[in-house]
Amino acid sequence: MPDVIAYGGDWNPEQWPEETWEQDVALMREAGVNRVSAGIFSWSMLEPVEAVFEFGWFDRVMDLLAANGIQANLATPTASPPPWFADAYPEALPVDADGRRLSHGSRQGFCPSSPIYREKALRIAEQVATRYREHPALAMWHVHNEYGCHNARCFCDTSAAAFRAWLRTHYASLDALNDAWGTAFWSQRYSDWAQILPPRATPSFPNPGQQLDFRRFSSDALVELYTSERDLLRKITPDVPVTTNLMAGAHWDMDCWAFAAELDVVSTDHYLIGARSEPHIDLAFAADYARSLNGGRPWLLMEHSTSAVNWQPRNLAKAPGELRRNSLQHLARGADGIMFFQWRASRAGAEKWHSAMLPHAGPDTKIFREVVALGAELAGLAEVAGSTVKADVAILLDHSSVWAQDHPAQPTSDLDPVEEAKRWHAALWRVGVTCDLAHPEGDLTGYRLVLVPALYLVSDAGAANLEGFVRRGGVALVGPYSGIVDEHDRVRLGGYPGAWRDLLGVSVEEFFPLDGPIRLESGATASVWSEVAHVNGAKVLDTYVTGEPAWTRNEQGDGAAHYLTTRLDDDALAEVMAAVCAEAGAKPAAQAAPGVEVVRRSHADGRSFLFAINHTEEDAVVTTPAGQKVTVPAGDARVIPG
Ligand code: GLA
């Protein structure tokens, strides 16, 4: 990673006449841009006809960058195969669950398991890499673009064969697969591997094990596509870091933990969702997730928007100052690069209504002025680069669990595991307690408090990991419908939650999903979920009005595990969170009024920066742990050294 904050965006000069390029780089310099992502959607211009390559124009792009001291995240343009590809190899186009083969005409028009796609993608990637291996502008490889954004699961015959091959490597025998998928149910027992299909449209609910394994297979297929490009690039340029932009916290089709393990540095994209009431808290979740995926090391924000996007029902423009606050949020949470989609707003094409660093109206605009100001501010914050964020709290998050709970036949459709994780994260955000995300089987050393908002599926190893954390002195808070099934989505028997009955000192006999709000004995309100639990050693801290346990605490080894048998409303959840944070000794980064975000980044040598970002319309005072009081005006932010 650089010793400055990388700043810039996707540059797509092929959309513009060449005369524009000089103006582009001049304005980039004015804005303090030191990094662009280039070539992402250039395949049809670099290889206009199969095996005919035209690099002259792109040489000039790269040379212009180098001449202006701007570095490139150079893309392999494999996210958007040209029309000639679909024309010559229609069998490589993706097929949906209804058996519909999609046409070219947008992007990501390929089946992730297609050998012919892979061959052509590796060929163009090799061409790009060998041509620019020693180019002075090359700083990093940007492989593909948002793997699986549009084609995460393909149901074609090629995918079916690849799925069967994947299953054979994961299950020693067909008997083992039949057992894992519970195929005795509904007469689904397989007598030949050839009978197994992707979960295509079928009269009723698909088999849950089949559906879950297909999602795992599909995610693995994308990771494998990435690693095939990465390995090629590493051979050609062993010293150039390789990444691909994830969509951490937004798209759940790819297992980000698996992807992150293969990246030299995690990069991710984040866009505010206008329909959310506090989208900046969602941003904080995504940023914390990106940092956690990179093992706590600085990461790169590859894309966000300067203002409106173009793919929501109502694309809200950012208010003055919002672009800066959003960028500083990512920086506060560990990003060493703040990049946008895209540099210059498109004149034509499907994203012409997406904001950019340089709007249609040109540089004399609110957006460009904010872009220039942000560039200067980030240059002044170069010392922040390389510092890290330490969290005392972690939320367990696993894609397999999200995918398993996505099966339509659940006790209720109102309990969304991702929304629960975000809600628990938001409860900590509101009090300034920094929080990581962790894989259930990941290393929990160093955390004081581990939260398990909704981890329906957990492996034996994951279950033991949490238990070990508590026994060694940690505090855990487990939410309802967690630890329910094994890694094949089979119920853990003998009383829920089978994974953690002993840890929690509780055994649940039956679920009672709710169709309205309820009030607990303490006065706290809850909704969506309730259950009849019997305590077996745990202390009851709150009950339903019927007297049954709603909140329990069980001491185990040197630590304690709390359990909620219902989905508490935000205020009640905040109170429980305050109690478990106090018990674990998890403290806020600073004292601040509601709506003021506080996070600290620190260097190993002790230099640190407290970020205080005021998302409210009132001036606020932030009190640092050392007692320093700093006023942060409404909508403004301060980076307080020390
Ligand atoms: C994603 C893509 C970009 C662009 C933006 C629009 O992040 O990577 O190419 O489509 O979305 O928001």
- Residue 303 bears catalytic tag: yes
Ligand 1 centroid to residue 132 C-alpha, Å: 25
- 69 with 151, same domain: the answer is yes
- 335 with 422, same domain: the answer is no
Collapse the DSSP code of 191 into the 3-class scheme (helix H, G, I; strand E, B; otherwise coil) and give the result.
Answer: coil
- 445 with 342, same domain: the answer is no
- 422 with 337, same domain: the answer is no
- 133 with 58, same domain: the answer is yes
Residue indicated by tokens 């920066």: 609
* Final residue in a domain of this structure, among 384, 413, 444: 384
Q: Which residue among 73, 143, 146, 339 is best mutated to probe the pocket of ligand 1, counting the most ligand atoms within 8 A of its Cβ?
A: 146
- 441 with 555, same domain: the answer is yes
Identify which of 357, 354, 336, 335 has the alpha carbon closest to the alpha carbon of residue 346.
354
The continuous run of DSSP H or E covering 126 comes out as: helix 115-132
Please give the Cα distance from 31 to 201 (Å, whole number): 51
pLDDT at residue 42, as a whole number: 98
Decide if 590 is inside a domain.
no
pLDDT at residue 1, as a whole number: 47
pLDDT at residue 3, as a whole number: 84
The continuous run of DSSP H or E covering 567 comes out as: strand 567-568
* Final residue in a domain of this structure, among 329, 356, 384: 384
pLDDT at residue 642, as a whole number: 86
- As beta bridge partners, residue 11 has 38
Number of domains in the chain: 3
pLDDT at residue 579, as a whole number: 98
CA 580 to chain centre: 26
Q: Which two tokens stand for residue 33?
A: 């841009």
Contact yes or no for 293/434 (Cβ under 8 A): no
Residue indicated by tokens 């124009």: 57
Ligand 1 centroid to residue 533 C-alpha, Å: 46
Q: Which residue among 303, 304, 309, 355 is best mutated to probe the pocket of ligand 1, counting the most ligand atoms within 8 A of its Cβ?
A: 303
Collapse the DSSP code of 363 into the 3-class scheme (helix H, G, I; strand E, B; otherwise coil) and give the result.
Answer: coil
- 246 with 327, same domain: the answer is yes
For residue 626, count other CB atoms closer than 10 A to its CB: 9
Catalogue the long-range contacts made by 207-210 (C-beta closer than 8 Å, 24 or more residues apart). Answer: 207/181, 207/182, 207/183, 208/181, 208/182, 208/404, 208/407, 208/409, 208/489, 209/180, 209/181, 209/182, 209/488, 209/489, 209/490, 210/181
Low-confidence ranges of the chain (pLDDT < 70): 1-2
Task: Considering the candidates 18, 54, 134, 303, report the single residue annotated as catalytic.
Answer: 303
Q: Look up the pTM and report it.
A: 0.98
Decide if 203 is inside a domain.
no
Q: Which two tokens stand for residue 239?
A: 């010293």
- 492 with 554, same domain: the answer is yes
- 430 with 502, same domain: the answer is yes
As for ligand 1, residues whose beta carbon falls within 6 Å of it are 145-146, 269, 271, 303, 309, 341, 351, 354
Decide if 184 is inside a domain.
no
pLDDT in tens, 122-151: 999 999 999 999 999 999 999 999 999 999
- 100 with 245, same domain: the answer is yes
Please state the atom number of ligand 1 nearest to the C-alpha of residue 305: 12
The alpha-carbon radius of gyration of the chain (Å, integer) is 25
Q: What is the CATH number of the domain that holds 30?
A: 3.20.20.80
Contact yes or no for 479/454 (Cβ under 8 A): yes
Q: Which residues, 6 or more positions from 368, have their beta carbon under 8 angstroms from its beta carbon?
A: 27, 31, 357, 358, 359, 362
Q: Which domain holds residue 294?
A: 6-156+208-384
Ligand 1 centroid to residue 590 C-alpha, Å: 35
Task: Considering the candidates 30, 50, 126, 146, report the single residue annotated as catalytic.
Answer: 146
Identify which of 577, 604, 559 has the alpha carbon closest to the alpha carbon of residue 296.
604
pLDDT at residue 2, as a whole number: 52
* Final residue in a domain of this structure, among 539, 560, 584: 584
Ligand 1 centroid to residue 341 C-alpha, Å: 6
For residue 104, count other CB atoms closer than 10 A to its CB: 17
pLDDT in tens, 97-129: 999 999 999 999 999 999 999 999 999 999 999
Please state the atom number of ligand 1 nearest to the C-alpha of residue 245: 8
Distances, alpha carbon 369 to alpha carbons 321, 357, 361, 364, 423, in Å: 11, 9, 12, 7, 35
Q: What are phi and psi of 387, to 5 degrees?
A: -80, 160
- 297 with 424, same domain: the answer is no
- 578 with 600, same domain: the answer is no
